[in-house]
Structure 1
């Protein structure tokens, strides 16, 4: 015990120096991380004010926060006596090893950059990518945040987004409704076509140009199929589809035009027995 006490007395100045350096390093980390968050927030707000896509602004802000945080850690380590030059070299070698083992994360990072540069979609777009359909909320360093139509929060890796076809349903101002309406073989085809044209053209959301298409497309097993293809503004796609489907059913019923169920005709042949049998 006396030896320990004597050691503390002999090295008191050194211990105080190390303690001060350690506390200073902790303060550097604490204050530095706060500054990093503040700067990333300022970058994000500034880019949004300049009408830059919020998803891109979020990506740049996240990237700047990561870079500043890494610099702060190096400064703090240097303050406690760690040789930062050697540390940076070791960090580079470790980064290479980690990079080889985390190729997926690097692919996600590279894909995030590609998304922000080529911008196949932006925040607020309804897209289908990486096996998920939803509204884009944010593009981060490694992932894209989406909200599905049933309000699920989905995080999709950026490499998965760019590694599959991307369908952007919000990119154009107008969309075409593709509907197939089957009627009975006994129905008057001209009457049916005129009725469908009247229903479609009378709907307030259907655009006059391009002109809607109503035509016989197929003589199916149980029905004669009409294609009904009106054009609408993208924002009106689903309400118009639901309303037209309901109205078409009601108007076909009023006109006594049948919508057949799938059916199959079965013919039974009875063979007569011969006298020898």
Structure 2
């Protein structure tokens, strides 16, 4: 009986304090539940949006996880504040730690920020032929901190995203059509008008050229050992390589058929006794 009486007396003396703690504890649990629900919801929505944008799976996973953990971190701070813990010191410690980590990982953070910008603006995507930092090849992967390019000779080149964003990016496959530019050197003895007709015939009988965009053949330069003609013709991007090869083959065969020489540089050596 004495224990019960003491318990009743204790609750009568501290009932307001206990009730206040129970209310704060209940609100803390409610904040945790709501914060957890919001973190899961935001993470799932971000994942769906990035999947629709056809972003790399690695980046999707990282972005969704980062958003979830960020919201949960803010939720825990709010929960501790509701329980009476001084959160200002915790926020200060987190801020100082974040600053120290940011300074230590400055290069990595710049690569990460550049990766985010590459995802948002999408100057290229996986499978496209590009030239980045004087490296030409097919984009193999766009990762969080770097971009991987496969060169025509089979090397996999990994470039930090900060370098990718800081240099000029040439995308060869983004547009549906691409122009073929050729310089053809002809012997000075050849008839210019005849050469023009031969070049035009060679181009026109090449399959898969886009005649609607025009064919340009003009005299471009009187070089040291040749008269240079510029040949410009459009084709579908997928056919660029084969069409360029066929045009060169046709031009060479037609010039040989008409006995028109393609000169090359020569060197005269005079020996004096």
The 3 A distance-change label for structure 1 pair 94 and 131 is farther
Q: How does 1:111-150 map to 2 (within 5 A)?
A: 111-150=114-153
- If the length of structure 2 is used for normalisation, what is the TM-score? 0.69
Correspondence for 2:183: 180
Q: Distance in 2 between matches of 1:97 and 1:53?
A: 34
- Indicate the SS of the match to 2:213: coil
Q: How does 1:82-97 map to 2 (within 5 A)?
A: 90-97=93-100
- Indicate the SS of the match to 1:178: strand
The alpha-carbon deviation at position 53 of structure 1 amounts to 2.6
The alpha-carbon deviation at position 228 of structure 1 amounts to 0.7
Q: Which moved more, 1:238-247 or 1:185-194?
A: 238-247
Q: Distance in 2 between matches of 1:134 and 1:90?
A: 46
Answer whether contact 2:203 2:250 (CA < 8 A) is retained: no
Correspondence for 1:218: 221
Q: Distance in 1 between matches of 2:134 and 2:103?
A: 27
Correspondence for 1:17: none
- Indicate the SS of the match to 1:209: helix
Deviations 1:45-65 (A, max 9, x none): 8844x3x2344x542323324
Answer whether contact 1:183 1:224 (CA < 8 A) is retained: yes
Cα RMSD after superposing both structures = 3.3
Segments of 5+ residues of structure 2 without an aligned counterpart are: 1-39, 74-84
The 3 A distance-change label for structure 1 pair 94 and 132 is farther
Correspondence for 1:77: none
Correspondence for 1:62: 62
User: Is residue 245 from structure 1 mapped to residue 248 from structure 2 by the alignment?
Assistant: yes
The 3 A distance-change label for structure 1 pair 148 and 265 is closer
- 2:173 is aligned, of 170, 193, 213, to 170
